[in-house]
Amino acid sequence: MTDVGGGVQTGIGQLGVNPNALGTTAAGVPTAVADLGTGVSGLGTSLATNTAGTPLSGATGAAGGLVNNVGQLTTNTGNGLAQNLQTGALSGVTMPATGVVTPVVAQVQGVTQNVGGATGLGAPVSGLLNQVGTGVSSAGTQLTSSTPALAGLGTTVTDTGQAVSKTGVLVVPASTTTTSTASNSGGISAGAGASASPTGGLISGLQGTVSGLTSVTAGLAIQKPKSQ
């Protein structure tokens, strides 16, 4: 889950900066599969090692070797697909698609911010989301401190609250923006500009939200077994 969250954060969370944001996002899934394969390989190795010298070593050794091979195949396949999505043949599809999506997302952000500013609801809604998020984060922190056994769940709740708080930025007109031209091999026209935050990202509020959600997935991450 951490790999998937990281892919989202460095992918769509960096629209306007990462020319292959969609490829990076998609690559998070096979990367997670590759990590799962590494864990499976560890199980196979452990099985063969821990039963060596026992009457069952012949059977368990063979089974462990088979499991290890399956894990390695899974890892290699996942890593290969992830690489293909980012720099290989499939990037020829994901990069042009990123160029198409980037200005569209920028326009959507502009609409939500303009509506928030024109109606006067932007600041109140943002404030409400911030209060709700702060409350949820506080509940998660209390759960973590009061019940150590549920610390993982508490951290997840806390990070969810932080993500909600940061979402409010999307309805508040940005005070300062810069303009960057989105271009890639897909041939996005030179005049297609994308609103970018001063720090370089396409949507600072979205990046904050994605970052918070990435932390949520990290809190739910599955620990891989260690090989012996």
Q: Which of 1-10, 76-85, 87-96, 151-160 has the lowest mean pLDDT?
A: 1-10
Which residue type, as a one-letter code, is found at position 145?
A: S
- What is the reported pTM? 0.57
In angstroms, the CA 212 to CA 30 distance is: 22
**Over the range 83-98, which residues count as b (16 or more CB within 10 Å of their CB) and which as e?**
ebbbeeebbeebbbbb
Give the pLDDT confidence of 171-187 residue by residue, as tens digits. 887 663 344 334 343 33
Give the pLDDT confidence of 94-142 residue by residue, as tens digits. 999 999 998 888 888 788 888 888 888 888 988 998 899 899 989 989 9
The pLDDT, as a whole number, for residue 116 is: 86
Domain boundaries, the chain: 2-219
When comparing pLDDT for 158 and 64, which is higher?
A: 64
Structure token pair of residue 85 = 């999505």
The pLDDT, as a whole number, for residue 1 is: 55
In angstroms, the CA 151 to CA 199 distance is: 33
DSSP state of 227: P
Tell me what the mean pLDDT of segment 53-69 comes to: 90
| pLDDT-above-90 percentage for the chain | 29
